[in-house]
């Protein structure tokens, strides 16, 4: 099977999905690897390094789609790529299918096989760690007076207190953000709905970090004295409510900052809208909003290295074992199967887009009892499940 590493074309995206080190390993497995020219340059991996690792360089995306059996990249498919998708070709990238119906339609129409990478991570995505840590630093950057913020130093100065920060959600993203802010001396309050998680934070940080149950009322009580809010909650896409609605912005002082790391329009923060690294912020009711959806691209080398380590096992398994056997062996890869030869296999996308779907095990002809188990990627359930092929 021939593998292709595409150059990402999303605005301000600098990461690459595999570094030369992983490419050398895959070449060592006996698989030809094609790399689109410039794919890793902005992450610090020159074309020559991929050639030294045994890859062949191709100039254009069209050549890559024509040559490779299996293509990998970092971010969603752009509209300019839709016509390049072809029947039977395998793709692994962050599709975020539930939020991108046009992209899903293009994938289904092509009759390709596509995995959404964000659902493949058994131990949490390295992009979540990167987004949490760097998102905290972006928040501090935009609190500076020179950037329109309140002008407060994170850890305070003699006679001047440090910032008050609120972290919504204590999953991998929130804990990563907390690690940075606490180390720099911020006064941090973490809110979550999982009491066991809050206890773990108390044990680790003691009285240096406050914890509270995540409710709209508790958040509202904190906002008048909060300088920086980091939203790290993966909000249910079908929900019509918010943790911070527009009226709550008036509780915050001008120059305060909200960094929505989860980057969900219509999500936990009602006033969130996507921005880019080129124009990362906007102001509503005096509150600075940072809305960049690909925060890890700003630390492209580190993020690429960590991401490659996380994905290379899945990529090698597909190359060495084929799609069906790779999915049987790893439930997290199986649950990430999004479309299979014209059939939707992603439950959350089915629920939110009202599309019929089949389970990955069904379309692959696998016995569920013989498959490696994995929890559902989200709590969203769909009533649109089609009967099994034999039903």
Q: What is the mean pLDDT of each run of 10 residues along the chain (391 residues)?
A: 97 96 98 98 98 98 98 97 97 96 98 98 95 98 98 97 98 98 98 97 95 98 98 87 97 98 92 96 98 96 98 98 98 98 97 96 97 94 78 40
Predicted confidence at residue 8, as pLDDT, reads 97
Predicted confidence at residue 186, as pLDDT, reads 98
Tell me the helices (H) and strands (E) count for the chain, helix number first.
13, 15
96 dihedral zone (left: phi>0; alpha: psi -120 to 50; beta): left
Predicted confidence at residue 264, as pLDDT, reads 87
Predicted confidence at residue 135, as pLDDT, reads 98
Cβ-count burial of 67 within 10 angstroms (0-12 exposed, 13-18 middle, 19+ buried)?
middle
Catalytically annotated residues: 96, 264
Whole-model pTM: value is: 0.91
Partners of 190 in the β-ladder: 167, 211
Return the DSSP state at 138. H
Start-to-end Cα distance in the chain = 33
């Amino acid at each position: 099977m021939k593998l292709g590493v595409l150059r990402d074309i999303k605005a301000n995206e600098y990461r690459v999905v595999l570094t030369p080190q992983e490419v050398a390993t895959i070449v060592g497995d006996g698989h030809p690897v094609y790399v689109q020219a410039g794919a890793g340059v902005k992450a610090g991996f020159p074309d020559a390094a991929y050639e030294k690792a045994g890859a062949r360089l191709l100039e254009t995306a069209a050549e890559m789609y024509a040559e490779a059996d299996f293509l990998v990249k970092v971010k969603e498919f752009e509209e300019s790529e839709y016509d390049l998708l072809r029947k039977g070709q395998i793709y692994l990238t962050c599709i975020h299918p539930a939020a991108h119906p046009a992209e899903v339609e293009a994938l289904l129409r092509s009759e390709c096989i596509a995995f959404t990478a964000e659902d493949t991570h058994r131990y949490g995505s390295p992009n979540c760690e990167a987004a949490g840590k760097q998102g905290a630093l972006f928040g501090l950057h935009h609190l500076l007076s020179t950037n329109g913020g309140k002008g407060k130093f994170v850890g305070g100065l003699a006679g001047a207190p440090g910032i008050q920060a609120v972290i919504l959600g204590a999953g991998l993203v929130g804990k990563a953000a907390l690690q940075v802010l606490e180390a720099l001396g911020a006064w941090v309050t973490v809110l979550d709905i999982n009491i066991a998680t809050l206890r773990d934070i108390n044990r680790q940080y003691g009285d240096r970090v406050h914890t509270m149950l995540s409710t709209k009322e508790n958040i509202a009580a904190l906002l008048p004295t909060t300088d920086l809010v980091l939203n790290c909650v993966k909000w249910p896409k079908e929900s019509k409510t918010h943790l911070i609605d527009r009226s709550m912005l008036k509780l915050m002082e001008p120059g305060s900052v909200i960094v929505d790391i989860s980057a969900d329009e219509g999500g936990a923060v009602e006033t969130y809208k996507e921005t880019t690294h080129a124009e990362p912020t906007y102001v509503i009711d005096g509150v600075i909003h940072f809305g960049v959806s690909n925060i890890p691209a700003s630390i492209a080398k580190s993020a690429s290295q960590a991401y490659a380590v996380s994905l290379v096992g899945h990529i090698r398994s597909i190359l060495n074992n084929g799609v069906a056997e790779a999915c049987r062996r790893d439930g997290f890869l199986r649950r990430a199967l999004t479309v299979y030869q014209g059939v939707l296999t992603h439950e959350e996308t089915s629920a939110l887009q009202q599309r019929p779907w089949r389970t990955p095990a069904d379309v692959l002809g696998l016995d569920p009892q013989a498959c490696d188990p994995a929890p559902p990627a989200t709590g969203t359930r769909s009533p649109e499940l089609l009967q099994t092929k034999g039903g």
